[in-house]
Amino acid sequence: SQQGEEDPQALSIQEGENATMNCSYKTSINNLQWYRQNSGRGLVHLILIRSNEREKHSGRLRVTLDTSKKSSSLLITASRAADTASYFCATAYYGNNRLAFGKGNQVVVIP
């Protein structure tokens, strides 16, 4: 079954720096979503990008999608300590409304 896979698995950065993480998938998708999970707020939807979109912004988040390479990236600009969390990409593919989650990126933002 299709599953997003994030790279790198763990990232440690200083507050104020940018954090970039990537996700790859294997088959055609309807959309790709990014979620954040931390102990305080559980799993929270961040942003959704559809297969016909190439880039999307939401606040300090920027997501790109390259369907030819079957990959996506999530950029968090000007990181804050509160951005410390695990970030998951999830793919929804045609013919099945199931979301397939990757293993997640652990991001630690050092104050």
Name the one range near other proteins by CB under 8 A: 11-19, 60-68, 72-80, 93-101. Answer: 93-101
Structural tokens at position 46: 């961040």
C-beta closer to other proteins: residue 15 or 22: 22
- Helix (H), strand (E), coil (C) string for the chain: CCCCEEECCEEEEECCCCEEEEEECCCCCCEEEEEEEECCCEEEEEEEEECCCCEEEECCEEEEEECCCCEEEEEECCCCHHHCEEEEEEEECCCCCCEEECCCEEEEEEC
Work out the end-to-end distance of the chain between its first and last CA atoms, rounded to an integer number of angstroms. Answer: 39
Question: Any contact of residue 83 with other proteins (CB under 8 A)?
Answer: no
x/- map, 19-48, other proteins, by CB under 8 A: -----------xx-x-x------xxxx--x
Q: Tell me which stretch binds other proteins (CB under 8 A): 14-22, 53-61, 77-85, 95-103.
A: 95-103
Count interface residues toward other proteins (CB under 8 A): 22
Smallest separation (angstroms) from other proteins to the CB of 43: 4
Residues that bind other proteins (CB under 8 A): 3-4, 30-31, 33, 35, 42-45, 48, 88, 90, 92, 96-99, 101-104
